[in-house]
Amino acid sequence: MQLEKYIIDEHNNELIDKHRRNLEQVAEGINGLDAVLKKLAAFNIAIPSWALGTGGTRFGRFSGGGEPRSLEEKIEDVGVIHALNRSSNSISLHIPWDIPENASSIKALASQLGLHFDAVNSNTFQDQPDQKHSYKYGSLHHVDKAVREQAIQHNIEVINYGVQLGSKALSVWLSDGSNFPGQLNFRKAFQNTLESLQTIYDALPDDWKVWIEYKPFEPNFYSTTIGDWGQSLLLANKLGGKAATLVDLGHHLPNTNIEQIVSLLLMEGKLAGFHFNDSKYGDDDLTVGSINPYQLFLIFNELVEGMDTRGMNHSTAIGWMIDASHNVKDPIEDLLQSVQAIKIAYAQALIVDKKALTDAQNNNDVALAQEILQDAYRTDVRPLIAEASLRMGGALNPISTFRRLKVRDQLIKERGTQTVATGL
Ligand code: PSV
Ligand code: MN
Ligand code: MN
C-alpha cells in the first residue's frame, strides 16, 4: 500500500490552527529558528527490516496481523513510515532474513517510495538449514578455521548483496562469547576475530565502511568477545580507516555513561553510528526515549557539540538507525514513536545555548551549566518537529494520522491476520 500526500494533507488541515499557535509560542524563545528547522528537516533515521513485524520473546510471539510477508512488503511499510514523518528514508536489511533475489526491482521499488538502503547486516548467530558448520561455539572467533572461513564468506556475500542495492556499510554484530569460565582463551578468540575481520575488511569496496557492534552479554553469559566499546575500538583501530564502532544504546550495563563514550568515539573519528532503543534492565529493545529520555538528550548534546566542533554534517556523517523489538505495540506505530523521540532529543540538543554552556564550564559554574542543559531539555520542542515534517510534506502528527487513516486495518485486509514477518 502507498499513502498519497493529499490524504496526509487533509488530516493536517484539521490540526493546522492548533499547530500554528503552539509553534508561535515555542519559536519566541529560540535563536536561529530557521536553521534548527532546516536541520530537523534534513535528519533521517534508518528503519531495520526486522522491526516491522511484532517481535517475540523466547516464551512466545503474538502477531498483530497485517505484518509484511516479504521484503517488498517490508519496504512498503517503511514507505508508509516515511510518507508520514519524512524522516525515515532508508531501510537496513539483515541477510539471510531478507534476500534481495532481484536487486534491481527491489531497488526500483525503494526509490519509487523515496527510500535507499542503509547498512546491510550479517547473521552468524543462527545456523541456517543448508549450512555446513555450526555457529554453536561462535563464528569469527571460532577455534576451527573452517567455521571462521564460512562466517567470513557469509559476510562477503552480504557485502555483495549490499553493493547491488547501493548500501555503503556492513554492520557486524557477533554473538561470539562463552558461557563458562575456562571455555575460551580470550586472547586467541580476540585474535581470531581480528584476523577474520581483516579478511572481510579487505573485501570492502573503497567507499564502504564496516561497523563493529559491541554487547556485554546475551546470548553468552560469561564473556562476549566484542563485549564493550574498548574491544570494538581496538578492532576498529587495528583494521583501519574504514572500520568504526557502532553504539547500540541497549548494549551497556545499567548506568553506563553512554554520552561520555560517544563523545570520545566522535573525537577519535571512530563513531560509526547508532542503534537506538531504550532499556531498563539489559538489552530490552524498548522504544527509544520511553525509559530514559534525558540520557538520550545528553547523548545528542554530545553529538551536536562534537560534530559542530569537527565540522561534521549531522545528518550524513554517521549512521542513524533504530534497533528495537515491539512485542505488544503495532510495529509501525512504535517506529513512528521512535523517530519522534529521536528527533525531540536532537531538537533539544540543537537549542542548547552552547556559548553560555562553554562559559559556565570554563568558570566552573556547575549549577548554571545544569540550568542551561535543562532549560533546553524542558522545552517542549514538539511543534518544531511537526513544522519540519509539514515543510517536508509529512504529517503534523504521524501517529494520529496513521490511526485516522486506518492504515493497519488496510494492511490486515491486504495481507491477512496470520502474518509473521521474518526476523528475530
Ligand atoms: C542482538 O542484540 C541485536 O539486537 C544486535 O543489537 C544487532 O544489531 C541486532 O540484534 C540485529 O542483528
Ligand atoms: Mn543493534
Ligand atoms: Mn541488541
Which pLDDT score is estimated for 145?
A: 98
Average of per-residue pLDDT across 13-42: 97
Q: Whose CA is nearest to atom 1 of ligand 1?
A: 173
Q: Whose CA is nearest to atom 2 of ligand 1?
A: 283
Q: Would you place residue 246 in the very low, low, confident or very high pLDDT band (cuts 50, 70, 90)? A: very high
Q: What is the 321 CA–ligand 2 centroid distance (Å)?
A: 9
Q: What is the 9 CA–ligand 2 centroid distance (Å)?
A: 35
pLDDT 10s digits, 96-133 = 999 999 999 999 999 999 999 999 999 999 999 999 99
Separation between Cα atoms, residue 114 and residue 154, nearest integer Å: 29
Q: Which ligand minimizes its atom distance to the CA of 274?
A: 2
Do the domain assignments include residue 390?
yes
Q: What percent of the chain has pLDDT over 70?
A: 99
Q: What is the mean pLDDT of the chain?
A: 96
- Which triple of cell numbers denotes residue 396? 503534523
Q: Are 211 and 204 in contact (CB under 8 A)?
A: no
Q: Whose CA is nearest to atom 7 of ligand 1?
A: 173
**The dihedral sign for the CA sequence 108, 113, 116, 122:** negative
Do the domain assignments include residue 292?
yes
* Closest alpha carbon to 229 in 246, 205, 217, 207: 246
- Which triple of cell numbers denotes residue 424? 528475530
Do the domain assignments include residue 75?
yes
Q: What is the 250 CA–ligand 3 centroid distance (Å)?
A: 6
Residue 1 has pLDDT above 90, yes or no: no
Separation between Cα atoms, residue 207 and residue 344, nearest integer Å: 31
Q: pTM value?
A: 0.97
Element (H, E) at 248: strand 243-248
Which pLDDT score is estimated for 404?
A: 95
Q: Whose CA is nearest to atom 12 of ligand 1?
A: 173
Which pLDDT score is estimated for 422?
A: 61
Q: Whose CA is nearest to atom 3 of ligand 1?
A: 173
Q: What percent of the chain has pLDDT over 90?
A: 94
Do the domain assignments include residue 12?
yes
Which pLDDT score is estimated for 386?
A: 98
Q: Which ligand minimizes its atom distance to the CA of 279?
A: 3
Which pLDDT score is estimated for 49?
A: 97
Task: Report the atom number in ligand 1 closest to the C-alpha of 123.
Answer: 12
Q: Whose CA is nearest to atom 4 of ligand 1?
A: 323
What letter does residue 287 receive in the DSSP assignment? P
Do the domain assignments include residue 360?
yes
Do the domain assignments include residue 304?
yes
* Closest alpha carbon to 78 in 101, 44, 42: 44
Q: What is the 173 CA–ligand 1 centroid distance (Å)?
A: 6
CA angle 408–59–222, rounded 5-degree value: 120
Q: Are 53 and 67 in contact (CB under 8 A)?
A: yes
Q: Which ligand minimizes its atom distance to the CA of 92?
A: 1
Q: Would you place residue 372 in the very low, low, confident or very high pLDDT band (cuts 50, 70, 90)? A: very high
pLDDT 10s digits, 280-337 = 999 999 999 999 999 999 999 999 999 999 999 999 999 999 999 888 999 999 999 9
pLDDT 10s digits, 53-77 = 987 888 888 888 999 999 999 999 9
Which pLDDT score is estimated for 424?
A: 58
Q: Which residues line ligand 1 (CB under 6 A)?
A: 121, 173, 213, 215, 248, 275, 283, 323
Q: Whose CA is nearest to atom 5 of ligand 1?
A: 173
Q: Which ligand minimizes its atom distance to the CA of 250?
A: 3
Which pLDDT score is estimated for 421?
A: 66
Ligand 1 pocket mutation, candidates 173, 174, 274, criterion most atoms within 8 A of CB: 173
Do the domain assignments include residue 424?
no
Count CA within 13 A, CB hemisphere, residue 349.
Answer: 26
Say which CATH number the domain at 29 has: 3.20.20.150
What is the residue range of 302's domain?
5-415
Task: Report the atom number in ligand 1 closest to the C-alpha of 246.
Answer: 8
Q: Which residues fall inside 5 Å of ion ligand 2, going by CB?
A: 248, 275, 323
Counted domains in the chain? 1
Q: What is the 297 CA–ligand 3 centroid distance (Å)?
A: 21
Q: What is the 13 CA–ligand 3 centroid distance (Å)?
A: 40
Do the domain assignments include residue 421?
no
Q: Would you place residue 423 in the very low, low, confident or very high pLDDT band (cuts 50, 70, 90)? A: low
